[in-house]
Amino acid sequence: MAVEVYLVFNGNCREAVEFYSKVFKTEAPNIMTFGDSPQDPSYTMPEEAKNLVMHANLNIAGSRVMFSDTWPGSPYVVGNNVTVALVSEDEALLRSAFEGLKEGGTVKMELQETFWSKAFGMVKDKFGVEWQISLESGE
């Protein structure tokens, strides 16, 4: 299990990830864009979203730091662009943590299966801390 930092950018995530990769001398980042994700036939993805970063990560000094761009039109406030990611192979622990964090908080995405995780959800707890809960796939 790991608690990790997730940094969110406003359209310049690719530039930031490449910058941090050079600064910390990491391997070249693997960057997934929103356009790379499976498309829902009942929803047309906005053109301005397709090249934005949906997910990237770097190993910095032994810790995984994750990155993405915010969805076009979503509120973006510098200082509120950091989330805490709880990543584990223990699904029961994740479900319990999600239920606890949503008490008095706001669910941004229910814990559910996605194309990258069998259980992923996002919640802002009652203290305003934003959490991403993710079942580690082992890949």
Domains 1-73 and 80-138 share a fold: no
- Which 8-state DSSP code applies to residue 47? G
80-138 to CATH, choices 3.40.50.720, 3.40.109.10, 3.50.50.60, 3.30.720.110 = 3.30.720.110
> Is the pTM above the cut of 0.75?
no
CB-based burial label for 99 (10 Å; 0-12, 13-18, 19+): exposed
The superfamily CATH assigns to domain 1-73 is: 2,3-Dihydroxybiphenyl 1,2-Dioxygenase, domain 1 (3.10.180.10)
- State the pLDDT confidence band at 128, using cuts at 50, 70 and 90: confident
> What's the number of CA atoms in the CB half-sphere (13 Å) around residue 84?
13
pLDDT at position 122: 95
Q: Which residue has the tokens 């969805």?
A: 71
12/125 Cα distance (integer angstroms): 27
CB-CB contact of 126 with 104 (8 Å): yes
Closest-CA residue to 7 (of 16, 62, 15): 16
The answer on pLDDT for 52 being more than 60 is: yes
- State the pLDDT confidence band at 60, using cuts at 50, 70 and 90: confident
Closest-CA residue to 115 (of 134, 98, 96, 92): 134
The answer on pLDDT for 98 being more than 80 is: yes
- State the pLDDT confidence band at 132, using cuts at 50, 70 and 90: very high
Closest-CA residue to 51 (of 80, 67, 71, 73): 71
- State the pLDDT confidence band at 139, using cuts at 50, 70 and 90: low
> What's the number of CA atoms in the CB half-sphere (13 Å) around residue 118?
12
The full set of domain ranges for the chain reads 1-73, 80-138
CB-CB contact of 22 with 60 (8 Å): no
